[in-house]
Structure 1
Amino acid sequence: MSPIAVTGATGNLGGRVARRLADAGRSQSLLVRDPARAPRLAGATVAEAEFADHDAVRRALDGIPTVLMVSAAESTDRVNRHRAFVDAAAAAGVAHLVYISFAGAAPDATFTLARDHWATERHIEASGLGFTFLRDNLYADFLPAMVGDDDVLRGPAGNGRVAAVAQDDIADAATAVLTDPGPHAGRTYELTGPAALTLGEVADVLSAATGRTITYHPETVEEAYRSRAGYGAPDWQLDAWVSTYTAIANGELSEVTDAVPTLTGHPATSLADLLRRRRDG
């Protein structure tokens, strides 16, 4: 079996995929910025290669036909870093690139960072690489962290719905594609949870799981910027935070698909089940 390269193995999603590949007995190369943080897994080698370092990435990917590209950390130069990685992968002779994108990626997406993913997808297509795009909805795993210390989930999402997806489901889907990429060449999959919930319903599920009374406050856009101004984040990041909610309000994260069960062979994980599993360990 051919080796697989995995980026982002020091993070939540890439690390999940790397562990699944190791459990399946697949040889893999983990491309990381800091080798000291790379997980120690059977059958895995570690290569130090930052996305923007063309030569390091090309060397690391030489002879590896299939690559998982987990999108880089949010930054103003993220698209340029993505393009550099894609160009290096093409130069190394990679046959198939599996890219972790975002739901509804488009040049005019409400969620500002989804535009970065659209630009990256177009560059991958233009590179001539074989590809599969996994467009993830909002991570269900992160929903609890959106609740404030006062047990209020606030944001300008109105009554819009979000089909949030569990990271374990994304990792299962990515592993399925990486281990048998042929049937998925040129395909785009929108990965979602099994249902689309309003943030009020999310608050109810979180309340039931925690025993706390968590409520949802639908802010105006102006209120959202004011309530987040104290974090000292740059304007582009504030825009990203707020537009996460306005994308929900605009219905851009509400589609529920069968991509997770189709790719993984198991049902998509509901928010309630995710929280139950986390609680029960």
Structure 2
Amino acid sequence: MIGVTGATGAIGGRVARRLAARGVPQRLLVRDPARAPALDGAEIRAFGGYVDRDGLRDGCDGLDVLLLVSAHEAPDRVAEHRTAIEAAAAAGVGRIVYLSFLGAAPEATFTYARDHFHTEALLRDAGVPWTVSRQSLYLDLLPELADEDGAIRGPAGDGRLAPVLRDDVADALVALLTGEGHEGRAYDLTGPEALTLDEIATRLSTSERPLRFVDETLEEAYASRASYGAEPWLVDGWVSTYTAIAAGELATVTDDVRRLTGHEPAAVTSAALGG
């Protein structure tokens, strides 16, 4: 039995649908059962999120593997992950597969990647077999960063990244959840080529929606986001997505998607996004 958190979201939902198509028994752990996908062979168990230690422990009872999708960004995100990991361990889960981020490190430029580093440390110390999936930025998310004029704005300079399609990540996660030999291992899931944001914008452009990259200074990046009225830690995360690219911390290219799934990851093209 495989447990899937985040089944109402982009990654967890993709994984759940793939497991159902393969006839794999699964339990969807969700906050709102009404939003859970109706899938053959899938139990639905409600709990109150990662702060709900007892609810998650009950939901994890009898699970062989748990997909732990990282919580939404928040100041107490690592504490939520700690509670979730401890609850899963107390329930006797056979293995935890954690959705992390490429370049997770204590001094990572991308501030949210630091949270993933600390969560990975908690996971290693939990006494439960674990697997970590570290993915690059999602290829199909990048067009959503563009403003109404089609401009992707940020202080990324000529830094490179190898974005990965969410469908490719889901395929790889299914392999990690159902396969053997992944205990104690971390995988870096990337696209096949590292490109600048200028190159990416050009490749993802269509006649209906041309895209372009506008390189901002750090001061311009903070100023352009001030109108959102977001808390400083959240804006730091937004801006440091780009500065991490500029620093070369997302330029990694691996063949982990191919090795796990048997197919090549999607290249950066508008066709990959259905354009």
TM tier relative to shorter chain: over 0.9
* 1:271 Cα deviation after fit: 1.9
Aligned to 2:186: 188
SS at match of 2:83: helix
Which of these residues, 17, 20, 26, is aligned with residue 28 of structure 1? 26
Unaligned 5+ segments in structure 2 are: none
Asked if the contact 2:266–2:272 (Cα under 8 Å) also holds between the matched residues in 1, the reply is: no
SS at match of 1:183: coil
Q: Which amino acid counterpart does residue 101 of structure 1 have in structure 2?
A: S
RMSD: 1.0
Unaligned 5+ segments in structure 1 are: none
Q: Which amino acid counterpart does residue 194 of structure 2 have in structure 1?
A: A
- Cα separation, 2, equivalents of 1:170 and 1:117: 17
SS at match of 2:274: helix
Aligned to 1:251: 248
- Cα separation, 2, equivalents of 1:104 and 1:239: 17
* 1:279 Cα deviation after fit: 2.7
Asked if the contact 2:202–2:211 (Cα under 8 Å) also holds between the matched residues in 1, the reply is: yes
Aligned to 1:171: 170
**Residue correspondences, number:** 274
Q: Which amino acid counterpart does residue 179 of structure 1 have in structure 2?
A: T
Matched, 1:197 2:192: no
* 1:211 Cα deviation after fit: 4.6
Aligned to 2:225: 228
Asked if the contact 2:140–2:273 (Cα under 8 Å) also holds between the matched residues in 1, the reply is: no
- Cα separation, 1, equivalents of 2:9 and 2:108: 26
TM-score (norm 1): 0.95
- Render the CA deviation track for 1:220-276: whole Å, top value 9, x for unaligned: 01100000100111101100000000000000000100000000000011121xx31
TM-score (norm 2): 0.97
Which of these residues, 46, 49, 55, is aligned with residue 48 of structure 1? 46
SS at match of 1:128: coil
- Cα separation, 1, equivalents of 2:203 and 2:31: 37
Q: Which amino acid counterpart does residue 71 of structure 2 have in structure 1?
A: A
SS at match of 1:87: helix
- Render the CA deviation track for 1:125-159: whole Å, top value 9, x for unaligned: 00011011000100111110111111222100000
Q: Which of the pair is proportionally richer in helix? A: 1
* 1:210 Cα deviation after fit: 4.0
- Render the CA deviation track for 1:158-206: whole Å, top value 9, x for unaligned: 00001111000000000011111x3111000010001111011011112
- Render the CA deviation track for 1:39-85: whole Å, top value 9, x for unaligned: 00000011112111111111111111101001011111111110000
- Cα separation, 1, equivalents of 2:217 and 2:17: 42
Which of these residues, 192, 212, 217, is aligned with residue 215 of structure 1? 212
Which of these residues, 258, 261, 275, is aligned with residue 258 of structure 2? 261
* 1:277 Cα deviation after fit: 4.4
- Cα separation, 2, equivalents of 1:4 and 1:186: 18
- Cα separation, 1, equivalents of 2:168 and 2:150: 27
- Render the CA deviation track for 1:19-52: whole Å, top value 9, x for unaligned: 0000000110000111111000000011112111
Q: Aligned ranges for residues 1-281 of structure 1 at < 5 Å?
A: 3-49=1-47, 50-180=49-179, 182-207=180-205, 209-272=206-269, 275-279=270-274
